[in-house]
Amino acid sequence: MGCGNLFFILVITCSTALITYSIIIISANAPLKQDFPDPTLFSSEQHMIIINKKSNTRLFHTAVTSSDSVYNTWQCRVMYYWFLKQKDKPNSAMGGFTRILHSGQPDTFMEQIPTFVAQPLPSGMDQGYIVLNRPWAFVQWLQQTHIEEDYILMSEPDHIMVKPIPNLARDGMGAAFPFFYIEPKKYESVLRKFFPEERGPITNIDPIGNSPVIVGKDALKKIAPTWMNVSLSMKNDAEADKAFGWVLEMYAYAVASALHDVPNILHKEFMIQPPWDTTTDKTYIIHYTYGCDYDLQGKSTYGKVGEWRFDKRSYQNSWPSRNLSMPPLGVPESVVTLVKMVNEATANIPDWGS
């Protein structure tokens, strides 16, 4: 192990182990610059940033973090296809786009998707929870790039933009989707380790994750290092790790946003999650995180593999084929629209499956 890598591990480990209330307060007021090595930037300026041509100062830059897995890659390609379809339509505040690739190495899609290559956390630091690379990747991206827009939309690979998205943030507040399973009040005793009583009521922590969120660029530059430190600290706290599980990093972002006094306007229409949400008419984003299983009569068999199914996890190691079968009659419109949009994207993306 090289001295530089050892120093890197020691710095992050120490910052994680020592994150007490006083350190959180320091982080809340510190500039973005952290004592970590600069990431290697492989992408050219052309592909790192799309410079917008619009005069609207409320444009946002869409950023999505991704690994180099087949699973994340095919989702990013579908997402970027629909981003391009929606960005120049009326009512859009969509500016540039960046895939933040936290594999540490460029891949074969650098020329197709604007990409910034971030370094992953040192081996073993994520403890098998790869999502911990997300806040660290955002810290690197915000340090190393010039972002034209004044706002950032943090998104995810399994998001499909159904229609152009306006800037829902205003008056110094972010705009976020409320998740029913983010429950600060329920876990107040755990969260007080990271959000002490002196910072105010636990309700100051919004029931959100980091995505989808539209937030001011300058605010995110302050939030991101705190988000990273709180995420690592929570993962190293047995009680917090057990309580929050796979949504730990989401709680960490909500805490970091509250520590920096950035409240969020909650927009239920920001995103839907089929099959539980059945229509797309009022939403901006489809989040296909849940499997969709039905029998041939269109009845849900959720929890049991259906005669017809669409589940992104079926394609963890292989690309979805073009022209996936459509769901049977009676299946909710949201599921039908999801499959239609995936099929349109795969039909038009060059070299699909390669």
DSSP code string of 157-200: TTEEE-S------BTTBEEEPPPTT--TTTTHHHHTTTS-GGG-
Q: What pLDDT score does 56 carry?
A: 53
Mean pLDDT of the 188-202 span: 98
Q: DSSP for 31-88, please give it.
A: -S--SSPPPP--S-HHHH--------TT-EEEEEEE-SSHHHHHHHHHHHHHHHHHTT
Is residue 138 scored above 50 in pLDDT? yes
Write down the domain spans for the chain: 3-268, 270-348
Distance CA 312, CA 286 (A): 13
- The mean pLDDT of the chain is 88
Instruction: Count the neighbouring beta carbons within 10 Å of the beta carbon of residue 325.
Output: 11
So what's the pLDDT on residue 343?
98
* pLDDT computed for residue 14 by the predictor: 43
User: For residues 125 and 36, which has the higher predicted lDDT (pLDDT)?
Assistant: 125
Q: What's the average model confidence in pLDDT over 128-144?
A: 96
DSSP tally for the chain: helices H, then strands E:
10, 12
The predicted structure's pLDDT at residue 52: 42
CATH class of 3-268: alpha beta
Give yes or no for residue 33 having a pLDDT over 90: no
pLDDT at 57: 66
Whether 1 has a pLDDT exceeding 80, the answer reads: no
User: Which candidate, 209, 167, 205, places its Cα nearest to that of 187?
Assistant: 205
pLDDT of residue 24: 39
State the pLDDT at residue 42: 32
* Range of lowest pLDDT (25-29, 53-57, 135-139, 289-293): 25-29
Q: How confident is the model at residue 354 (pLDDT cuts 50, 70, 90)?
A: confident
Q: Is the dihedral of CA 69, 70, 72, 73 positive or negative?
A: positive
Res. 29: pLDDT tops 70 = no
Helix axes 248-259, 21-29, angle to 10 degrees: 70
Cα–Cα distance for residue pair 168/278, rounded to 1 Å:
23
pLDDT on residue 244: 98
pLDDT at residue 11 is higher than 90: no
| Largest Cα–Cα separation, the chain | 62
Q: Which residue has the higher pLDDT, 38 or 198?
A: 198
Q: What is the mean pLDDT of residues 317-336?
A: 97
Residue 307 pLDDT: 97
How much is the average pLDDT of 57-77?
Answer: 96
Q: Rounded distance, CA 162 to CA 262, Å?
A: 27
Assess whether pLDDT exceeds 70 at residue 73: yes
DSSP annotation of 338:
H
163 neighbors 89 (Cβ within 8 angstroms): yes
CA distance 173 to 265: 7
Q: Poorest-confidence range of 42-51, 62-71, 154-163, 227-236?
A: 42-51
80 neighbors 157 (Cβ within 8 angstroms): no
> Are the C-beta atoms of residues 154 and 63 closer than 8 Å to each other?
yes
C-alpha–C-alpha distance, residues 301 and 294, integer Å? 5
- pLDDT surpassing 90 at residue 284: yes
With the CA atoms of 297, 298, 302 and 303 taken in that order, what torsion angle do they form, in degrees rounded to the nearest 10? Answer: 30
DSSP 278: -
From its phi and psi, is residue 265 left (phi > 0), alpha (psi between -120 and 50) or beta?
beta
The predicted pLDDT at position 324 comes to 98
**Residues of the chain with pLDDT > 70: what percent?**
84
